[in-house]
Structure 1
Amino acid sequence: MNDAVENFKKIEKVLWIVLGLNLSVALMKILLGYNISSSSMVADGFHSLSDASTNIIGLIGAAIASKPADETHPYGHRKFETFTATGIALMLFLVSFNIIKSGIERLLHPQIPEVSSFSIIIMLITLAVNIAVILYESREGKKLHSHILVSDAAHTKSDVYVSLSVIAGLVAVKLGYPVVDPLISFVIALLILKAGIEIIKDTSRVLCDAAVIDPEKITSFVRGIKGVVDCHRVRTRGREDDFSMDLHILVNPSMTVEESHRLHHSIEEEIRRNFKGAHHILIHIEPYPDSSDQNT
């Protein structure tokens, strides 16, 4: 359990670092965007601000998820992290809607942005920061098996495309095509929406208890263990790095209680060794009707 707490402390550290970077990037984009009347840059700035808000949500989720198992949550609180990642996706949907709304207003009441080389340089700097955040958060998310960090890294990855779109829009404005600016904001909104949908698809599998591993793969493996005649009713649920498994094992009906108990432990150890992440294993032992088929 101490390892789990230590793991979440590392996740929190990453989120605090990313939060500081996202706030800095957001402020630069929003202030400059309003100063030059660029709707796409302002939209990108609020997108970065939403990144910061999701970092705060992530910190809250990580704090709850790090709590040990108790009487009301006997399997622990890890799903709170997944639930938090779903909240991040909902935030993205809201940001996407607001950007589309703002873009429509800009089309109806156009304002020509005042683009300078300085504004493009600022966007290039924020782009470099976003790339650094992606590389750092992605690496730590995979290492720590964190849904929050992986989801947030995917969110930030869309920021790179968004920033590239904004830079392209600013160049287009400078070349005399101001209508491109609000149109670029629509592209940004769609990219944000796509990132949210991908997060929902991933987290919904965990929250809806979708199978983590193909049952046939587990069945085939368990059938190869000495003493097991057959295996069926295999179910898994949870996350790839932390899932529950239950299965039924058929054995020779002449097997004693002590022998079946030893076999139970042997099967559990083999499963843990070969299926990383299987932390909760429930094995139901049944007598096989035809003992001549025993695997020896």
Structure 2
Amino acid sequence: MQVATYLKISVAVALATIALKTGAWWVSGSVSLLSDALESLVNLAGAMFALAMVTIAARPPDDDHPYGHHKAEYFSSGFEGVLIFAAALGIVWAAVDRLLHPQPLDAVGWGLVLSVISSVMNGVLAASMLKKARAARSMALEADARHLFTDVWTSGGVVLGLLAVLATGWQWLDPVIAIAVALNILREGARLVWGSVNGLLDEALDADSLAAIETTLEGFRHQAIRFDHVVTRRAGQRRFVDLHMHMPAAWTLGRAAAVRTSVEQALMAAVPGLRASIQLLPMDVEAHLGDERDPL
């Protein structure tokens, strides 16, 4: 299935889990189950925004965006992180109010059953989405999958906490668990926002990709050819590497271009989704990057 299809399924599952978790809160009155339902609302908003950004990212380059629209996916993870912060604040507000005004819980058993059903749905979907995200190198899909996993662990904590309330009769455990849930999803929100920022700031490729690039270049290095100024970056599902290739000045342009084509093809075969850009230079010429006279 395509990335967009997974996100459409995520929207449908989010709607189902919202219904289940809201029902769990309604029948039990548990503020921790309410916090779980609020996080599912974030899942829905995040999945819908991710679907919109993936659609934009798939657009081909145009006159206004000659390098494509790949970075749109990073806005998705950042937006979802901000939504998580908002949900966490709502959870804390509800939990503090419940601490100040305790209320007995009702029909906790049914609430737990509905919560477990929704967690199983989210867990199965999240595992499938994360596998697809790694294969497609989709930041938006990975962010949505990791948020769903956070939701699963959050629901697990809520279930265990409510079982502790039933076993001990300590009603204050319910809002305390809700606050712990809020702190946990705040951590996930911060991670998503940070990942989005790094992507928009042209973060270098991961260590495995860098190692594959170096291994490929090593296969072409010899006395007549050397490489330098190798830089990489990511933009959504696309990856880029720019470098200089030095060769003898006596070589013909055709021969130099043929070697460059071989290197580019080898690099793109070694790292899926890579686009290589190689500048040809004579062996005795150096490119001066980062000159102090550069006003930037």
TM range (shorter): 0.7 to 0.9
- Of 26, 38, 53, the residue aligned with 1:34 is 26
User: 1:47-79: per-residue Cα shift (whole Å, max 9, x none)?
Assistant: 111101111111211221121111111111111
**Counterpart residue number, 2:186:** 193
- Of 54, 65, 85, the residue aligned with 1:62 is 54
Contact kept, 8 Å, 2:213 with 2:270, in 1: the verdict is: no
CA distance 1:115–1:149, change in 2 (3 Å): same
**Counterpart residue number, 2:282:** 287
Contact kept, 8 Å, 1:223 with 1:229, in 2: the verdict is: no
**Counterpart residue number, 2:233:** 237
**Counterpart residue number, 1:73:** 65
Unaligned runs of 5+ in 2: 286-296
The CA distance in 2 between the partners of 1:240 and 1:63, in whole Å, is 12
Contact kept, 8 Å, 1:249 with 1:284, in 2: the verdict is: yes
SS of equivalent residue, structure 2 residue 35: helix
Q: RCO (CA 8 Å, sep 6+): is it higher in 1 or 2?
A: 2
User: 1:198-234: per-residue Cα shift (whole Å, max 9, x none)?
Assistant: 2233333221112115668645642431675211111
Structure 2 residue identity aligned to 1:104: V
- Of 180, 198, 210, the residue aligned with 2:203 is 210
**Counterpart residue number, 1:261:** 257
Structure 2 residue identity aligned to 1:190: L
CA distance 1:20–1:50, change in 2 (3 Å): same
Structure 2 residue identity aligned to 1:42: L
Structure 1 residue identity aligned to 2:63: E
Please give the root-mean-square deviation of Cα atoms over the aligned residues, in Å.
Answer: 2.2
Aligned length: 281
Unaligned runs of 5+ in 1: 1-6, 291-296
**Counterpart residue number, 2:78:** 86
- Of 3, 10, 35, the residue aligned with 1:18 is 10
The CA distance in 2 between the partners of 1:212 and 1:240, in whole Å, is 11
Q: How does 1:127-138 map to 2 (within 5 A)?
A: 127-138=119-130
Query: Once superposed, which parts of structure 1, at least 4 consecutive aligned residues long, lie more than 3 Å away?
Result: 213-221
Q: How does 1:36-185 map to 2 (within 5 A)?
A: 36-175=28-167, 176-185=169-178
Structure 1 residue identity aligned to 2:200: L
Query: Given the alignment of the two structures, is residue 277 of structure 1 paired with residue 273 of structure 2, yes or no?
Result: yes
User: 1:18-73: per-residue Cα shift (whole Å, max 9, x none)?
Assistant: 21111111122123313422100011011111101111111211221121111111
The CA distance in 1 between the partners of 2:171 and 2:235, in whole Å, is 47
CA distance 1:210–1:139, change in 2 (3 Å): closer
Contact kept, 8 Å, 2:27 with 2:110, in 1: the verdict is: no
Identity of aligned residues (%): 25
What is the TM-score with the length of structure 2 in the denominator? 0.87
CA distance 1:236–1:259, change in 2 (3 Å): same
The CA distance in 2 between the partners of 1:219 and 1:189, in whole Å, is 43
